[in-house]
Amino acid sequence: MINNRTLRRRKNGVSLIGKIGRNFKKFHFFTKRQKFVIGVLILSFGLFFSEHFFGRSGLIFVFLLSLLTDLLILLSIYEDIKETDSLYVFILPFLFSFAFGLFYFLVPARFITRIAITSLYGIGLYSLLLSQNIFVIASMKTIQLLPSARIVSFILTVVSYFFLANIAFSLHLSIIPLSLIIFSFSFLLVFHSLWMYGLDKSARQLAIWSLALAGCLFEASLILWFWPTNPTVIALFLTGFYYSIVGLTHVWFDKRLFKNVLWEYVWVGAIVLFVLILFTSWG
């Protein structure tokens, strides 16, 4: 049974979506997949030419590219999302584009490298659009593709987390600003990851879980700030830690926390810890 509070939230969310979505009605002659393809092409070209922006202007461009990602998603799935309150589908696409856009400035400025990163971004973004669409539909009715969408979305979340963590540690900030940045995007990515496995759970419950797990990642970042190794290795360890604790929470939600499943995540944590120690400069 849906309570009055939920109804008001859905009404407000639908009202907001409706105001924006009415501006895109002229695009309705495209099918949903065609809209996905057009959106991916627009954003991929934007990422490809983002190399021409540097410094503050580059950061602004990446931020606008991320906003455009959510705008194009809204354009593509407006007819479905206006019936639900699944506004959380916009979290991961924004951070996915933001992570790729910032990481794009760290890779060598070679044509083949730009093509490879842009292609990876386009393929990942198209898969992400499909998975978010499935989550919106799954919030209204049962759909068999939901487990596959969860796997794809979680993989892209892990990739985004690695890029963001790598960028954050590459900035060589002081410990407090760095840890706050880690906590901020950790909370958002954890919240989205838990939401897609707990579509029937309340936002308050998901927020509590997200705060707890993001707090663990925040504490790990405090320790890693002192660790004598390069940002890529630190980001790899922190991403493995994210994968382990969030993955265990997923199986807890699904009531599948068996011994063999637990050991899978323990081995992932052990491997990234070994890599961290192996590439540490002890001298």
* Angle 95-101-102 from CA coordinates, rounded to 5°: 90
Does one domain contain both 57 and 189? no
pLDDT of 168 strictly over 50: yes
Residue 54: band (very low, low, confident or very high) from pLDDT cuts 50, 70, 90: low
Does one domain contain both 156 and 116? no
Of 30-34, 99-103, 122-126, where does the model show the most confidence?
Answer: 122-126
Does one domain contain both 81 and 103? yes
- What are the distances in angstroms from CA 195 to CA 120, 153, 188, 200, 249? 25, 11, 10, 8, 11
143, 166, 201: which is the final residue of a domain? 143
Does one domain contain both 101 and 168? no
DSSP string, 31-64: -HHHHHHHHHHHHHHHHHGGGG--HHHHHHHHHH
pLDDT in tens, 123-134: 999 999 999 988
Choose the weakest-confidence range: 41-55, 90-104, 127-141: 41-55
122, 143, 164: which is the final residue of a domain? 143
Does one domain contain both 53 and 105? yes
CA distance 145 to 138: 9
Total Cβ atoms within 10 A of residue 204: 8
CA distance 241 to 272: 8
Does one domain contain both 46 and 111? yes
Stated pTM of the model: 0.85
Give the domain range for residue 4: 1-143
Count of domains for the chain: 2
96, 124, 143: which is the final residue of a domain? 143
Q: Which long-range contacts (CB under 8 A, 24 or more apart) does 115-123 make?
A: 115/48, 117/47, 118/44, 118/47, 118/48, 121/43, 121/44, 121/47, 121/97, 122/40, 122/41, 122/43, 122/44
Instruction: Compute the Cα dihedral for 157, 160, 164, 165 and give only its sign.
Output: positive
